Structure 1
C-alpha cells in the first residue's frame, strides 16, 4: 500500500532506506539538518584539498555491490574503485613496521618472517573467518533483529561456542608475537568494542580485511554518498537540507508528522536515520521506548579526535592508510572503555588519500587525516585538541623519520563537541553502539518503535551495527519491515 514516508537524516542508512522504499512505490522525502547530505560521511574542501570528514575505509565491497544490484546497478555505474596495494602499514617503532599486502598469500609470507609457523596458523584462522563471513554477511546480518530465533540456523548451531568466546583469546591461542596479535585484533575495532569483549564469531572482520582487501573510491567515500543520492533521485526521492527537526508529532499512539523549521509536515510513516537517542528526545517522554538509564548502561563505540591537515609537500614513509601502534594498546583501551579519560599515550591512525587520489590535494602537496579514538562523553576543548595534535606529531615525525610540522598549511579539527553539534550524537560517539555479545542482533535497539505506531529507525545504533556496510544493510532491513507492515 502506497505511503507518504518522511525520513530524518541523509547518512548511508537513510539514503539506502530511501531507495528501497521508493522502489516499493512509496512517496519518500528526506530531511537533513546540515547544509550538505551524508550524515557523518560528509566532505571537507579547503584550499584545493579534499577530505572525507567521516569514514575513510572501504571494506566489504560485496555489500556495496549487493546494494546497487538490488536496483539493477553496479558501483561502477557511479564511481571508480581502486584496490589499495599495499592495503595499509602498521608502525610499532622507528624502522619497525609491518606492511599488509593486498592478498592473503603475501600477508601469510610476511607473518612467517615475524613468527615461525604463523603462516599456517593464519591460513587456518582465515578459513574459519571466511566461513563466518559467509554465514554473517551473506545471511545473518540481513535479518531484522526481531527475534532471537533469527540467530538459530543449521550453520550457526555448529558455531554456538563462537558467540561465547572472544576474538582476543582466539588470536592469542594461535599467535604469540605481539605485533601479529595487534594486527589481527585491529579489524574488530571497527565494531566498537575491545577485542576481549567481541565474540569470536566476529572474526569475519579479519576476512573482510585480509580476504577481500581495502579499497578506495575515487574522490573519497563521499563519492558513495553522491552515488546513493543520484540513485535516490532517479527513484524520485526528494532530498531537503538545512531542515531542523523539532518534534515528531504523535496522536493516539501513532506518528503523524514532523515539525521542521517551525512548520508542521504530515506523514504516514516516519523513519529516522539520525541518532536513535536524539530521535527519541523528539518524542514526549511517554512515547520513548528507551529510558536515559537504558542508554547510560550501554557500551558505546568510541568518539574520535580528528585532524584534517593540508601539507605543502609530499609525506614520506607512509601508505594511504597507516596505523601507529607504538604505544600500549591495553592502556589506551582502558581510557576508552573502563576509565573514560583522555589517554596519556594514544594509538592513532592516519590516512593520506592523495597517495592514491591525485585530486585529493594540489600537485606536490598532501592531504592528511589523523584520528585518535576517544571515550565518548569526555571533556573537549581547543586546548586539549592542540595538546594532542602536538603529541601525535611528535611521534609521527619520529616514527616516519621526517619533519612535517613546518609543512602544515592548515589544520581543521573535529571532536566530541562537534559530533554532538553536527550529528546530535549521544555523548559525541563516532561509530554508534558497540557490537558486544549483549548488544548483538535482537539485543540492539529495535528498527520499529515499541511505543509509537508508524515510527521506525535505521543506522548504527540499531540493527545490524556500526560501520558503513552495516548501515547499507540497516536501510534495507527497515525498508522490508515497513513494506511488510504496510501491506
Structure 2
C-alpha cells in the first residue's frame, strides 16, 4: 500500500472502465511492470466505442471517423507492435459527401464530394467560389502547421510543467498562436471564404469537439489538416476492431479484465497534507464493487465519466471538482443515434455523409444554448437538423446482409438526460422515436432516396437518457466536455486528483480531450505521470518492458516521498521488435 507521503512503491493498479482510454492505460502500465486489473461494468469492453449486431447488421455505436493515424500507430509502437499487423486500414475516396440544404427544405439538397485528392478538392472549391481553392489550400497548409505544433508541444504534455511546452519553436509562433486562441473558429473561417457552404466544410469539425465553430478557439482549425490533407481512413471490419486489437494487447501484457463488474466507490483513507501535496485529503486504497467486494490498489486510474468519478465514486471531501464547479462548466453536445438496417442499395450516400442546414448558427444555438453552462431548459431539439450519416456497408460488404445496407445517423442533440427517458412505451421514448422518423425522412429527401424510412427493416434509437444510463455521462452528453477555450489544454481538468494523489484520470473528460486519438494520448499521459516525466514529447517507442519499475523504486509515483525528476525518457526505450 502507499507510504505515508504518497502513492508508494506498490505494483497494484486498478483501472475503472474499459473504454479505449482505460484499455490503453491498462496495456501500457502492465507493459511497465504493474499488476493491473481492469473493471468494466458492461459485458464487453469499448465504452462509447461499441458495436451492435442486430438482425444480421453490424453497427459501430460510437466514433466513426479514423483520424490522426500516427497517434494510433504510435500507441501500438509503444507496445512493441506494428499497427498493420492488427488493422486493415482502407483510405476512403471520396473522403465524405456533403449535402447542403436547398431552397425547399423538403426537397433534394446540393451535394459536394470531398475527394481523397487535395488538388481535386481545391478545384471543386474554386467552382463554388472563384479564388476559394487557393485560399483553402493556404488555410489547409496553416492547419497542418498548427496540427504539428499541437502534436509536438501540447497534446503529449501533462501540464505538470507548462513551461516545458514553451520551447523556441512555440515562442517563434507566439503571435500566430495568440490569434488562434483569441478568435473563434468561425471567425477564422470567415476570413478565408465567403460561401456559406465552404465555411461549413471548414467548420464542421467543431462538432467532434462537442461544440460549435462559434464557440471553439480558432486553434482547432488544425482539424482541417485531418480531412483535407491527411485523408480519411477506415479499419475494415469496423471501428470496433480497434478496441478488439487493444484488448488483445492488454491481455498479452498480463492485464486481468473483469467485465460485468460495476464499481460503486473509490475507497480513500485519510492522509494529512504536505508541502508537496498541499490539497491532499487522502489516498486511494482500492475500489468498492456493487457486490461489496473491495479490489485493493496502490494506484487507481478512472476511465469512467469524470463527472461521475468526482461526484459519485468519490466522497465529497475528496473531490477536486465538486458539483458546484460542474455547474459552471459546459457538457457540450449530446446526440440522437439511429442505427437502421435498410433494404436495397443506397449509392446516394457515401461511407461518410454530412447534412448541413442553411441556418447553421440557429441549429447550434438550439442544441448548445447561448452559454457554456446553459440549462437544459434553454435547449431545444431542432426541426431540421445538421447531421452525420455513416454507411459502412459501402466499404464493408459483411456489415449488412446481402441486398441490404447499414445506416448510422448521428444528430447533434441537447445534453438533456430527460430526452428519451422512461423506457419503451414512455412518452419521452415515443417522442425520441418520432424525432428519429423525422430525421430519416430528412436524409431521404435531401439525398434523393424516396421512401427511405419505409425501407428500414430493423433499427435501434439511442438518445441522451441512454448515454446517462449506460455510461453515467454528465447530463447525457455523447461526446464529453465541450472544447471551449476555458475547457481546453491546460484549462481542461488535469489527469491526477489534487486531493487523492494516487488517483489518476484517463479519457475524454481530462487532457488532452475527446475522441479516440485523444484518449490514446490520455493513456500515455497517465504513464508519464507515474514516471514523473514532464516533457511535451511523446514517449519513445517501443517502451522497454518493466519501464515503471525504476520509478516505483525511486518513489516517482504520484505524491511519493522524495519524488525525483524523470530520467531521459529514451532510457525507457526497448529494442525494436
TM-score scaled by structure 1? 0.97
For residues 445-484 of structure 1, what are the alpha-carbon distances to aligned partners after superposition, in whole Å with 9 as ceiling and x for unaligned? Answer: 1211011131111111100011111010001001210233
**Aligned partners of 1:349, 1:383: CA distance in 2, in Å?**
22
For residues 265-312 of structure 1, what are the alpha-carbon distances to aligned partners after superposition, in whole Å with 9 as ceiling and x for unaligned? Answer: 111111000101111211111111112121121122211010110112
**Aligned partners of 2:11, 2:392: CA distance in 1, in Å?**
42
Unaligned runs of 5+ in 2: 1-8, 103-107, 271-281, 370-377, 420-427, 533-555, 558-562, 564-577
Residue aligned with 2:509, SS: coil
Q: Which runs of 4+ in 1 moved over 6 A?
A: none
For residues 148-187 of structure 1, what are the alpha-carbon distances to aligned partners after superposition, in whole Å with 9 as ceiling and x for unaligned? Answer: 4355333333222221122111111110101000111012
Contact map agreement 2:13 2:299 (CA 8 A) in 1? yes
Residue aligned with 1:452, SS: coil
Q: Match for residue 574 of structure 2?
A: none
**Which of 343, 346, 350 is matched with 1:315 structurally?**
346
Contact map agreement 2:417 2:468 (CA 8 A) in 1? no
Residue aligned with 1:110, SS: helix
Bigger-Rg structure (1/2): 2
Q: Match for residue 162 of structure 1?
A: 180
Q: Match for residue 300 of structure 2?
A: 270
Q: Match for residue 303 of structure 1?
A: 334
> Shift in Å at residue 190 of structure 1?
1.1
Residues 435 and 155 from structure 1, CA distance in 2 versus in 1: closer, same or farther, beyond 3 angstroms? Answer: farther
CA RMSD for the aligned pairs? 1.4
Q: Match for residue 385 of structure 1?
A: 432
Contact map agreement 1:89 1:318 (CA 8 A) in 2? yes
Q: Match for residue 245 of structure 2?
A: 227
Residues 269 and 204 from structure 1, CA distance in 2 versus in 1: closer, same or farther, beyond 3 angstroms? Answer: same
> Shift in Å at residue 109 of structure 1?
1.0
Residue aligned with 1:90, SS: strand
Q: Check if 1:56 corresponds to 2:76.
A: no
Residue aligned with 1:417, SS: helix
> Shift in Å at residue 2 of structure 1?
5.1
Q: Match for residue 438 of structure 1?
A: 486
Task: Decide which moves more: 67-76 or 364-373.
Answer: 67-76
Q: Check if 1:91 corresponds to 2:94.
A: no
Residue aligned with 1:465, SS: coil
For residues 74-108 of structure 1, what are the alpha-carbon distances to aligned partners after superposition, in whole Å with 9 as ceiling and x for unaligned? Answer: 22111211011101111013251111001211111
**Which of 13, 16, 27 is matched with 1:8 structurally?**
16
TM-score scaled by structure 2? 0.82
For residues 405-424 of structure 1, what are the alpha-carbon distances to aligned partners after superposition, in whole Å with 9 as ceiling and x for unaligned? Answer: 22111110111111011101
Task: Decide which moves more: 365-374 or 135-144.
Answer: 135-144
Contact map agreement 1:327 1:345 (CA 8 A) in 2? no
Contact map agreement 1:316 1:400 (CA 8 A) in 2? no
Task: Decide which moves more: 394-403 or 127-136.
Answer: 394-403
Q: Match for residue 376 of structure 1?
A: 415
Contact map agreement 2:97 2:114 (CA 8 A) in 1? yes
Q: Check if 1:68 corresponds to 2:115.
A: no
Q: Check if 1:397 corresponds to 2:427.
A: no
Q: Match for residue 269 of structure 2?
A: 251
Residues 118 and 182 from structure 1, CA distance in 2 versus in 1: closer, same or farther, beyond 3 angstroms? Answer: same
Q: Check if 1:37 corresponds to 2:76.
A: no
Contact map agreement 2:384 2:442 (CA 8 A) in 1? no
Q: Check if 1:26 corresponds to 2:40.
A: no
Q: Match for residue 231 of structure 2?
A: 213
Q: Match for residue 257 of structure 2?
A: 239
Q: Check if 1:102 corresponds to 2:116.
A: yes
Structure having the higher helix fraction is 1
Q: Match for residue 134 of structure 2?
A: 120
**Aligned partners of 2:296, 2:469: CA distance in 1, in Å?**
27
Contact map agreement 1:91 1:323 (CA 8 A) in 2? yes
**Aligned partners of 1:51, 1:60: CA distance in 2, in Å?**
22
Contact map agreement 2:20 2:519 (CA 8 A) in 1? yes
Contact map agreement 2:12 2:36 (CA 8 A) in 1? yes
> Shift in Å at residue 62 of structure 1?
1.0
Residues 383 and 327 from structure 1, CA distance in 2 versus in 1: closer, same or farther, beyond 3 angstroms? Answer: farther
Q: Match for residue 143 of structure 1?
A: 157
Contact map agreement 1:341 1:378 (CA 8 A) in 2? no
> Shift in Å at residue 345 of structure 1?
2.1
Contact map agreement 2:55 2:458 (CA 8 A) in 1? no
**Aligned partners of 1:155, 1:417: CA distance in 2, in Å?**
45
User: What is the total number of aligned residue pairs between the two structures?
Assistant: 487
> Shift in Å at residue 147 of structure 1?
4.5
Counterparts of 1:418-457 in structure 2 under 5 Å?
418-457=466-505
**Aligned partners of 1:150, 1:408: CA distance in 2, in Å?**
54
Q: Check if 1:351 corresponds to 2:390.
A: yes
Residue aligned with 1:246, SS: strand
> Shift in Å at residue 326 of structure 1?
3.3
**Aligned partners of 2:331, 2:405: CA distance in 1, in Å?**
33
> Shift in Å at residue 6 of structure 1?
0.3
Q: Match for residue 461 of structure 1?
A: 509
> Shift in Å at residue 34 of structure 1?
0.7
